[in-house]
Structure formats: C-alpha cells, structure tokens
C-alpha cells in the first residue's frame, strides 16, 4: 500500500517527497483510515514503528479539510487539536515532526512544555494556532491562568498514553477532559505497552466512546532485531565494565540508562575522568531546561557519542543511528525495559542491548521475561536468570569435576593394568626370548605391538 492510496490531502505531497518515505508502516496503514473517519482509537504498536506519523498525518488532514470548509481558526489560545506527551524532550520531538509537516500543509503548530518561560506561554493567549503539543502540567497551569481554552478541541491525542496516566497526571487529564466537548471529540491513545489495568481503565472511563483497537500480533513483526547480551557483574564492578565496554567493544553511538539521577551524574563524571576523549553527555530530570535541551541536542546532532540518562529518555525518543543501549541497572519496571531497549532497532534497523545483571536482579529478570513473552511485538530476547545461571554454572562445575575424577580413575586403572601387563610381558618376554633362541621371533614382535 502506498501513501497515495490513503487518500490524504494533496498538500502532503511535498512532505512525502522531502522525507523520502516510500510507503506507510503497518501501524500507519491501519490507523490513518480510522482517524480520517473520525474514529477514536487505542493504538498499541512496537517502539519505532512510526506511531508519530500515524496520528500526525490524519490530524493535519482533518484540520486542513475543516479549514477549507469553515475557514481558519481565529480564536486566540484555542487549539483544535492537542497532543500530550509525558516529557519535554518527547513533546519537543513531536513538535519538530509536526513542524516538518506544517511546513507543507500550512497549519499552525505550538509547543508548550514545563521549561518554557512565562513570557513565551503568555503569548499563547494572544495568538491563534491549530495544534498544541504539550506536557500535562503546563496545560494545567495555562488553563488556570486563562491562557489556554480547550472548549473547541476536536482531536485529543495522548502519546505514551499509559505513561501519562501512570505518572500522576491522571487527575490533570481528567480535569482537561471535563473542559472538552465530548460529543465532538476524537480521542487517540498511542503506546508500545498497554498494561492490562490501563486497558480496563480506558474501557471503563470512555464507556460512551467507541474506542477502536489497533494492535499487532507476532506474525506482523517486522524484521527488526535487537540482540541482547547479559553481563554478570557485581555493583562495584559496573563502572569498570562500562569503561572497558566503551574502550574495546562499543561500536557506534548509544545510551547508558541508570535508575537514579545521581547515578547518572556519577557515571557521567567517571567516564569524563577516565575517558577524556569520549564525548559523553548526561540527561535527567533534575537538570535545568537549558542543560537538558543542550544535552539532548548535542546527542541528536551526533556531537556526543554517548548519553548517560535516566528513564526521562526511555520513551518515544527517536535518535537516528543509535547502535546500542546499556542498562547500567535493570529498570524498576519491566515496561521500562521494553521502552529503553526500544530506543534501538527502530524502523527496521538492528540494535544491541547490554544488561549489567547483578546477583540481586533475579526477581526483576523474571518480571521482564514475563513482559517480553506477553509483548508479542517486541523482538527482545529473554534474560537468563542470574541466579539460575549461577546454579547452572555450579552444577556444570560439579559435573566437570566428577568427569575429571572418573577420567583420572580410568587412567589410573589403565596404568595399573599396563604395569601388570608389562610385568607379564617382561616375564613372557624372558620366556619367549628364551624360546626364540630356540625357535622363530614372531611371538615376541606381536606381543610388543599389542602393548
């Protein structure tokens, strides 16, 4: 199926020509017609499968058609469509994708995130725009300050939807929904992971909306592969292992995920000290907006080779040519494991994941493996249980020792037999020599050969 057969507005032609995309991805093929037909959707498809354009293209299409019918939106601070994302970094990335489309389709896109200056946000109330991309807390404060009105919103997309509701934004989002006209509202929930509890919540919460489901099974899996290596280390060995990995093994650029912000700082400091030629940046939620922006921009633009980050970079972030991910510590939840690893192996490319597995990780490994089994569309390998590994190693060692003992015993027996036979042969030899002196020497030769 080609993009043309999706019958999008002709204004997209320039965008497709510029991007060079040959055909829509599977999630785009299935989602775009539903959204064009004003359906509300829950879309679950693997990391890197192209969900951003799966909602961006039909959104622009619908708004463009509305604009042609009813004229441009003239209401200030009143978007027609809103996309929520859990982090500033992701909101900014979506904004850049949407800007690349709006450049051709000519609609107005605005970004509203936590780090924006008040002056910048203020101007929202005085400007007209069609699409707002935002983080939830900023939307909440802007509504409160009467800079933003959601009464005319017709399309509401929640990217990384499960994460938005889990991150403590649930009440904020529910409050936003109360401001919207439910009858005319199109909803879109997009994610790579749909925990059962969240699925039930969606069904119960939006009982009046018919939510169409787009989800893929294993048979639809693209030929993307993520190779996984598990390195068994004790916590105090991790820095040394990471250093060795970067010096000797690492090919291309990658992200080192840590579980805590201070751990990210420590690893970053260690690498800067020990590998002064390595271009490494750090990214976590305690850094100020400018430092966060600078770190990610430097990594995205390939000035930096390595990014040490917390889970702030785990979801949605799309970085060209990323070759590997190191889990310095396994994440606290299996879902984050899927998202972290999903930073590589995107859009049909391959990637490598290295897990530094400590002896206390057994429980987490079991949970991750269960999640991977349930997550039919993510091509991740199972992590062997470190504890079981150890037991298996001990058993193998015991078996090897047993084998060696047996071998030693067999050799000893053979030696004993050989010595006994030597003695016999010697005796026999003496006899034979004595008899050879009397007859032919063949018997002595044969005996010698047998020995």
Ligand X SMILES: Nc1ncnc2c1ncn2[C@@H]1O[C@H](COP(=O)(O)OP(=O)(O)OP(=O)(O)O)[C@@H](O)[C@H]1O
N-terminal to C-terminal alpha carbon distance within the chain: 78
Nearest to 91 by CA among 310, 294, 315: 315
Restricting to residues 160-199, which ones interact with ligand X according to CB under 6 A? 192
Select from 23-31, 108-116, 180-188, 385-393 the region that touches ligand X (CB under 6 A).
23-31
Select from 17-25, 65-73, 161-169, 421-429 the region that touches ligand X (CB under 6 A).
17-25
Restricting to residues 304-363, which ones interact with ligand X according to CB under 6 A? 316, 318, 342, 346-347
- Nearest 5°: CA angle at 129, between 214 and 89? 60
- Nearest 5°: CA angle at 313, between 255 and 239? 40
- Number of residues this chain uses to bind ligand X (CB under 6 A): 17
Q: Is residue 25 a contact point for ligand X (CB under 6 A)?
A: yes
Nearest to 35 by CA among 17, 65, 62: 62
Q: Is residue 6 a contact point for ligand X (CB under 6 A)?
A: no
Name the one residue in this structure whose structure tokens are 């504890």: 387
User: Which partner, Mg ion, ligand X, none, binds residue 102 by CB below 5 to 8 Å per kind?
Assistant: none
Select from 49-57, 124-132, 171-179, 254-262 the region that touches ligand X (CB under 6 A).
49-57
What SS3 class is residue 397?
helix
Beta carbon nearer to ligand X, 162 or 318 = 318
Beta carbon nearer to Mg ion, 131 or 246 = 131
Rounded Cα gap, residues 149 and 84, in angstroms: 15
User: Which partner, ligand X, Mg ion, none, binds residue 192 by CB below 5 to 8 Å per kind?
Assistant: ligand X
Question: In 318-392, where do the E strands start and end?
Answer: 322-327, 351-357
Task: Check if the beta carbon of residue 254 is closer than 8 Å to that of residue 323.
Answer: yes
Beta carbon nearer to Mg ion, 52 or 305 = 52
Select from 51-59, 256-264, 366-374, 443-451 the region that touches ligand X (CB under 6 A).
51-59
Task: Check if the beta carbon of residue 135 is closer than 8 Å to that of residue 113.
Answer: yes
Select from 45-53, 74-82, 260-268, 388-396 the region that touches ligand X (CB under 6 A).
45-53
Dihedral, 372, 373, 379, 382 alpha carbons, nearest 10: 70
User: Which partner, Mg ion, ligand X, none, binds residue 364 by CB below 5 to 8 Å per kind?
Assistant: none
Residue 50 CB, shortest distance to Mg ion, in Å, is 8
Beta carbon nearer to ligand X, 51 or 104 = 51
- Give the contacts of 86 (CB within 8 A, at least 6 positions apart): 135, 136, 160, 163, 164, 167, 169, 315
Question: The tokens of 120 are what?
Answer: 């910048």
Residue 347 CB, shortest distance to ligand X, in Å, is 4
- Give the contacts of 325 (CB within 8 A, at least 6 positions apart): 254, 255, 256, 257, 340, 341, 343, 344, 351, 352, 353, 354
Instruction: Summarize as ranges the residues that interact with Mg ion (CB under 5 A).
Output: 51, 316
User: Which of 49, 73, 121, 375: binder of ligand X (CB under 6 A)?
Assistant: 49
User: Which partner, ligand X, Mg ion, none, binds residue 346 by CB below 5 to 8 Å per kind?
Assistant: ligand X
Restricting to residues 116-155, which ones interact with ligand X according to CB under 6 A? none
Rounded Cα gap, residues 357 and 233, in angstroms: 6
Residue 51 CB, shortest distance to Mg ion, in Å, is 5
Residue 296 CB, shortest distance to ligand X, in Å, is 15
Q: Is residue 53 a contact point for ligand X (CB under 6 A)?
A: yes
Q: Give me the residues that bind ligand X (CB under 6 A), please.
A: 21, 24-25, 28, 47-53, 192, 316, 318, 342, 346-347
């Amino acid at each position: 199926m080609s993009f043309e057969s999706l019958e999008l507005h002709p204004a997209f032609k320039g965008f497709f020509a510029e991007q060079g995309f040959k055909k829509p991805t599977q999630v785009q093929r299935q989602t775009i017609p539903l959204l064009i037909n004003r359906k509300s959707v829950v879309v679950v498809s693997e990391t890197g499968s192209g969900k951003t354009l799966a909602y961006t293209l039909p959104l622009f299409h619908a708004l463009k058609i509305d604009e042609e019918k009813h004229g441009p939106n003239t209401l200030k601070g009143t978007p027609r469509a809103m996309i929520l994302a859990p982090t500033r970094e992701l909101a900014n990335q979506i904004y850049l994708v949407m800007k690349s489309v709006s450049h051709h389709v000519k609609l107005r896109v605005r970004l509203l995130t936590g780090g924006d200056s008040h002056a910048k946000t203020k101007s929202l109330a005085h400007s007209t725009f069609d699409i707002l991309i935002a983080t939830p807390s900023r939307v909440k404060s802007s509504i409160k300050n009467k800079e933003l009105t959601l009464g005319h919103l017709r399309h509401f997309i929640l990217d990384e939807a499960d994460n938005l509701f889990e991150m403590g934004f649930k009440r904020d989002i529910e409050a936003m929904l109360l401001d919207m006209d439910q009858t005319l509202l199109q909803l879109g929930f997009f994610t790579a992971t749909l925990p059962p509890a969240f699925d039930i919540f969606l069904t119960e919460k939006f009982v009046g909306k018919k939510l169409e489901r787009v989800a893929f099974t294993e048979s639809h899996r693209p030929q993307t592969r993520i190779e996984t290596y598990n390195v068994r280390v004790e916590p105090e060995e991790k820095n040394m292992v990471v250093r060795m990995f970067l010096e000797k093994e690492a090919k291309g650029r990658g992200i080192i995920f840590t579980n805590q912000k201070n751990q990210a700082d420590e690893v970053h400091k260690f690498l800067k000290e020990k590998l002064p030629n390595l271009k490494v940046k750090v990214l976590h939620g305690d850094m100020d907006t400018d430092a966060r922006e600078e770190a990610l921009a430097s990594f995205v633009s390939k000035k930096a080779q390595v990014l040490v980050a917390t889970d702030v970079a785990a979801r949605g972030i799309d970085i060209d040519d990323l070759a590997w991910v190191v889990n310095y510590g396994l994440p606290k939840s299996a879902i984050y494991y899927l998202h972290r690893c999903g930073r590589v192996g995107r859009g049909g490319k391959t990637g490598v994941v290295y897990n530094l597995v400590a002896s206390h990780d057994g429980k987490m490994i079991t949970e991750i493996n269960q999640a991977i089994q349930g997550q039919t569309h993510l091509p991740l390998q199972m992590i062997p249980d470190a504890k079981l590994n150890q037991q298996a190693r001990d058993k193998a060692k015991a078996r090897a020792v047993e084998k060696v003992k047996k071998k030693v015993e067999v050799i000893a027996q053979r030696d004993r037999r050989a010595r006994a036979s030597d003695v016999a042969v010697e005796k026999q030899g003496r006899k034979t020599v004595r008899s050879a002196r009397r007859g032919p020497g063949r018997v002595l030769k044969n005996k010698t050969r047998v020995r």
